[in-house]
């Protein structure tokens, strides 16, 4: 059995996940992976991608050193026979034992830093899968195994959503005219990092750049009236997405209408996010919703979002997408209309949509679809 020995997840003196519940999550994931390996006819799988490492270890292991890298400073090998190993180098081994793997029953395989022999050692077990391209190994996709979140993952996700939302509001309230887009990045990153949360996406823009570009990465423009904080955050391998806006002076009526229309598209997507719905179904919902709001074709200018979890987007809704919604899955829809946008991270759980990034102190836009109401966040006006 995979065990996290003698530890619970305690944040700010509150226990989010007990040792018993954490161990149950780890056991269930190991059994799920072994069953999947047998169905694939594989003797084992080499796991290097950070999101898969975090998923399998219940968020206990963080291998990132180079933040934007897809892989970290170790690899996992899980076999159909139930063996679990981690491969790393001598210089990384002491910290990985003390702070990452020491409470888990993975057996270490250690190499000199100049002679990492992971592929050769793992290849002795065949046939073998790998989540990154490796010679002689079958490339595998573990995303479907990550789709449905466990109760312990949901507990971690709720904390991360609430704290990311709080950090975003904290930063939004500090925004002032004259600040640069880099300043907006800095104050938001500081609010997240103080909470032990890693920023992973920065799309921060001001004024005309918000209207001109769907992916407006910061380029240093200085704020006159209108600012966007659009970000993703990470902890325990889980990803949160959120976007918030502030406007100095009266909000132009046309921009306000675009926010209301985007909120209505968001509501249509949330209402359609149900078990069994396909990626193509959801794209069609967005397409129809934009047209109903008087913005036909707006879906062509940017993706509308999709499920999240261990990837900022596990997939996005497309006209021919075959991916299917499952229960206990997280989503981040991001409909936008020429400067107006709404985005939150939500959880679909037993037919109910739960907003993980609610910010009730900010303006709320209520949108209704087929008698069901869905709240979106409007623009903070100062």
The domain that holds 255 is classified in CATH as 3.90.230.10
Residue 157 has a pLDDT of: 98
**315 shares a domain with 288:** yes
pLDDT band at residue 15 using 50, 70 and 90 as cut-offs: confident
174 inside domain: yes
**269 shares a domain with 216:** yes
Q: Between these two residues, 115 and 235, which has the higher pLDDT value?
A: 235
Residue 103 has a pLDDT of: 84
**162 shares a domain with 130:** no
Last residue of a domain, one of 146, 165, 197: 146
Residue 14 has a pLDDT of: 67
Per-residue pLDDT at 246 exceeds 60: yes
The percentage of the chain sitting over the pLDDT mark of 90, rounded to a whole number, equals 87
**89 shares a domain with 188:** no
**377 shares a domain with 246:** yes
Angle between helices 151-172 and 19-40 (to 10 degrees): 110
3 inside domain: no
Per-residue pLDDT at 12 exceeds 80: no
pLDDT band at residue 65 using 50, 70 and 90 as cut-offs: confident
Residue 380 has a pLDDT of: 98
Cβ-based neighbours of 12, under 8 Å, separated by 6 or more:
none
**348 shares a domain with 202:** yes
**26 shares a domain with 112:** yes
98 inside domain: yes
Average the pLDDT over each of 126-130, 170-174, 266-270, 330-334 and give the range with the smallest value.
126-130
**273 shares a domain with 234:** yes
Contact 246, 318 (CB under 8 A): no
**347 shares a domain with 216:** yes
CB atoms within 10 A of CB 125: 19
Residue 1 has a pLDDT of: 41
Last residue of a domain, one of 146, 164, 187: 146
**Helical spans, DSSP H, in 229-278:** 253-272
pLDDT digits (tens, 9 = 90+) for 91-147: 999 999 999 998 898 999 999 988 877 877 777 788 999 999 998 999 999 999 999
2 inside domain: no
**294 shares a domain with 234:** yes
Place of tokens 């750049």: 209
CA 379 to chain centre: 24
**200 shares a domain with 74:** no
4 inside domain: no
Last residue of a domain, one of 125, 146, 167: 146
CATH number of the domain within which 13 lies:
3.40.350.10
Domain of residue 188 covers 151-381
Per-residue pLDDT at 11 exceeds 90: no
**253 shares a domain with 108:** no
């Amino acid at each position: 059995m995979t065990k996290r020995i003698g530890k619970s997840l305690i944040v700010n003196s509150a226990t989010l996940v007990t040792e018993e519940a954490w161990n149950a999550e780890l056991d269930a994931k190991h059994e799920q992976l072994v069953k999947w390996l047998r169905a694939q006819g594989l003797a084992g799988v080499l796991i290097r991608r950070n999101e898969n490492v975090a998923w399998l270890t219940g968020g206990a292991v963080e291998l990132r050193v180079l933040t934007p890298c897809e892989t970290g400073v170790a690899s996992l090998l899980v076999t159909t026979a139930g063996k679990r190993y981690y491969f790393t180098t001598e210089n990384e081994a002491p910290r990985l034992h003390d702070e990452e793997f020491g409470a888990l029953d993975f057996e270490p395989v250690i190499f000199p830093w100049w002679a990492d022999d992971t592929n050769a050692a793992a290849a002795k077990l065949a046939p073998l899968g790998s989540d990154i391209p490796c010679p002689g190994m079958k490339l595998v996709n573990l995303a479907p195994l990550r789709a449905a979140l466990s109760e312990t993952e949901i507990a971690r996700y709720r904390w991360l959503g609430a704290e990311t939302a709080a950090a975003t509001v904290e930063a939004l309230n500090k925004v002032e005219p004259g600040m640069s887009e880099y300043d907006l990045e800095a104050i938001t990153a500081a609010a997240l990092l103080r909470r032990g949360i890693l920023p992973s996406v920065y799309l921060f823009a001001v004024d005309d750049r918000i209207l001109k570009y769907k992916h407006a990465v910061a380029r240093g423009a200085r704020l006159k009236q209108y600012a966007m904080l659009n970000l993703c955050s990470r902890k325990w391998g889980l990803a949160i997405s959120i976007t918030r806006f502030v406007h100095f002076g009266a909000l132009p009526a046309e921009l306000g209408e675009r926010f209301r229309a985007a909120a209505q598209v968001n509501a249509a997507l949330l209402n359609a996010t149900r078990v069994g719905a396909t990626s193509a179904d959801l794209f069609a919902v967005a397409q129809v919703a934009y047209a109903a709001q008087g913005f036909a074709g707006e879906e062509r200018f940017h993706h509308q979002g999709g499920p999240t979890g261990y990837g900022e987007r596990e997939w996005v809704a497309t006209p021919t997408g075959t991916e299917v919604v499952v229960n206990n899955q997280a989503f981040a829809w991001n409909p936008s209309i020429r400067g107006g946008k709404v985005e939150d991270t939500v959880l679909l759980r037993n037919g109910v949509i739960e907003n993980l990034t609610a910010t009730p102190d900010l303006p709320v836009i209520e949108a209704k679809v087929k008698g069901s109401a869905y709240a979106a966040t409007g623009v903070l006006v100062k």
